[in-house]
């Protein structure tokens, strides 16, 4: 069921429940007010004839009966005088025997005057009103009056109230339906915009003037679509660049193999061709391994374990001592005695890429410093070199796969442009961040904060 229909049904159901409760409250209140008015009138009438009857009761039964008949016609009611024991003394209709005992609910009242309304089978609604005859004499005046007119008035009021409430409910139903459709209009517009998005056309824009949750939802969807477009563009660029990067060594290998038979007789040229072929195979192998590493990091479950600064120093010294010696580059370690919890394989692989870059892109005789320090609740790993540096225009792109600055290509022809992408993925997978400071011809300092 659509949201606007559910909203409409919920609102109308609540309104209908309120109307039903209101109906009962109003009708009960109206009925009580009418009964109170009828009671006051009946008691006033009873008091108006009370003095005349008190003068004749109980000494003059005939005169009392005469008064009862006279007032009974005037009031169009049945009048009965009861003695102090609430037995019949006189009946204006002369149908009840003297000293007879009546079985009426009003006789059980403890205080008078009193009035009650009872529905009877033969006469419908009847009003019973009873007051003491006088303060000096023990006796009571009972008036029995037809109350059907009162309940006809109540029924008439109930009918009018039902028609009024039904009209209000009908109007509310219509208004609530259009309000619910208006309220959910932005959602339908969002759905229509989303349906226009295809793999070849991703564009989402919706002008919504109100600053509420719907606005936040629209902004979130716009951001999501933009991120999808960015991701798609990166994916296409990645595929295009990776295809190009893989095609280059393949083309070189093809040319070497194509010309290899022609230099078989020349040992020097033959071995040179074989050497170049091995270089291209190694380059392609390294590139494929790094591509697999990038994919692996995205899907790999991080298994953190403790690694000490001693472990880091020992690993880097063992891995890069020969490369650094060959370029006469001094590895300078500045490490506090701390432990960090990382995925050992991913973390050391990322450090290897950073230190390798520092050595490869630094001039002979320079220094590459590696430091690990504790700062507040964080650990800062810094790798700083004195190499070629990175321009401001390139520094925002160096973590993109296959991106290489021109100067880097001149220094290291075998680089694939994937090393820093792997570093960035490692840092992201550990919920850390990475900072870069670089100046051309002065060097680069990369800080990993975990």
Q: What is the pLDDT of residues 53-109, one digit of tens each?
A: 877 787 788 888 888 888 889 888 899 988 888 889 888 888 888 888 888 888 888
What b/e string do you get for 110-143 counting C-beta neighbours within 10 Å, with b at 16 or more? eeebbbbbeeeeeeebbbbbbbbbeeeeebbbbb
Name the pLDDT band for 163 (thresholds 50, 70, 90). Answer: very high
Residues in a beta bridge with 18: none
Contact status, residue 398 vs residue 392, Cβ threshold 8 Å: no
Contact 427, 433 (CB under 8 A): yes
Residue predicted with more confidence, 238 or 141: 141
**What are the chain's domains?**
3-158 (3.30.450.20), 300-449 (3.30.565.10)
Q: What is the pTM of this model?
A: 0.50
Share of the chain above pLDDT 70, in %: 91
pLDDT at 204 over 70: yes
- Burial label, 326 (beta-carbon count in 10 A; 0-12, 13-18, 19+): exposed
Using one digit for the tens of pLDDT, what is the confidence trace for 380-438?
999 999 888 888 877 877 777 666 665 554 445 455 567 787 788 888 888 899 999 98
* Contact partners, residue 96, CB within 8 Å, separation at least 6: 80, 88, 102
What is the pLDDT, as a whole number, of residue 401? 66
As a whole number of angstroms, the distance between CA 392 and CA 148 comes to 98
CB 107 within 8 A of CB 84: no
Residue 413: what pLDDT?
43
């Amino acid at each position: 069921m659509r949201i606007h229909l559910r909203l409409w049904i919920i609102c109308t159901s609540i309104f209908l429940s309120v109307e039903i409760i209101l109906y009962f409250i109003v009708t009960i209140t109206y009925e009580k007010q009418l009964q109170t008015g009828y009671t006051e009138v009946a008691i006033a009438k009873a008091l108006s004839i009370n003095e005349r009857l008190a003068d004749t009761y109980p000494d003059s039964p005939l005169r009392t009966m005469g008064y009862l008949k006279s007032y009974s016609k005037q009031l169009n009611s049945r009048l009965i005088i009861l003695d102090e024991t609430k037995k019949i003394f006189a009946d204006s209709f002369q149908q009840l025997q003297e000293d007879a005992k009546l079985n009426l609910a009003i006789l059980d009242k403890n205080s008078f005057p009193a009035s009650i309304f009872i529905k009877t089978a033969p006469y419908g609604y009847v009003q019973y009103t009873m007051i003491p005859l006088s303060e000096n004499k023990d006796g009571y005046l009972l008036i029995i009056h037809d109350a059907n007119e009162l309940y006809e008035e109540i029924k008439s009021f109930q009918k009018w109230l039902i028609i009024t409430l039904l009209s209000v409910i009908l109007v509310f139903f219509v208004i609530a339906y259009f309000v619910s459709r208006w309220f959910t209009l932005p959602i339908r517009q969002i759905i229509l915009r989303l349906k226009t998005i295809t793999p070849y056309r991703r564009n989402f824009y919706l002008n919504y003037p109100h600053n509420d949750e719907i606005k936040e939802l629209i902004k979130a969807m716009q951001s999501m679509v933009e991120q999808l477009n960015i991701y798609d563009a990166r994916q296409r660029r990645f595929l295009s660049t990776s295809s190009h990067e893989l095609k280059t060594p393949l083309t070189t290998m093809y040319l070497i193999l194509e010309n290899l038979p022609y230099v078989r007789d020349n040992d020097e040229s033959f071995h040179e061709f074989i050497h170049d072929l091995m270089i291209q195979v190694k380059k392609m192998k390294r590139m494929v391994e790094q591509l697999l590493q990038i994919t692996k990091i995205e899907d790999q479950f991080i298994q953190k374990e403790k690694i000490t600064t001693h472990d880091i120093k020992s690993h880097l010294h063992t891995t890069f001592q020969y490369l650094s010696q060959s370029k006469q580059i001094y590895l300078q370690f500045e490490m506090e005695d701390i432990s960090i919890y990382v995925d050992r394989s991913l973390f050391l692989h990322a450090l290897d890429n950073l230190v390798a870059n520092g050595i490869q892109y630094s001039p002979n005789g320079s220094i590459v410093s590696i430091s690990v320090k504790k700062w507040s609740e964080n650990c800062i790993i810094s790798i700083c070199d004195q190499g070629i540096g990175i321009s401001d225009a390139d520094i925002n792109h160096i973590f993109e796969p296959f991106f290489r600055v021109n100067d880097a290509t001149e220094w290291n022809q075998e680089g694939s442009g994937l090393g820093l992408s792997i570093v960035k993925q490692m840092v992201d997978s550990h919920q850390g961040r990475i900072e870069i400071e670089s100046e051309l011809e002065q060097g680069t300092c990369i800080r990993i904060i975990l």
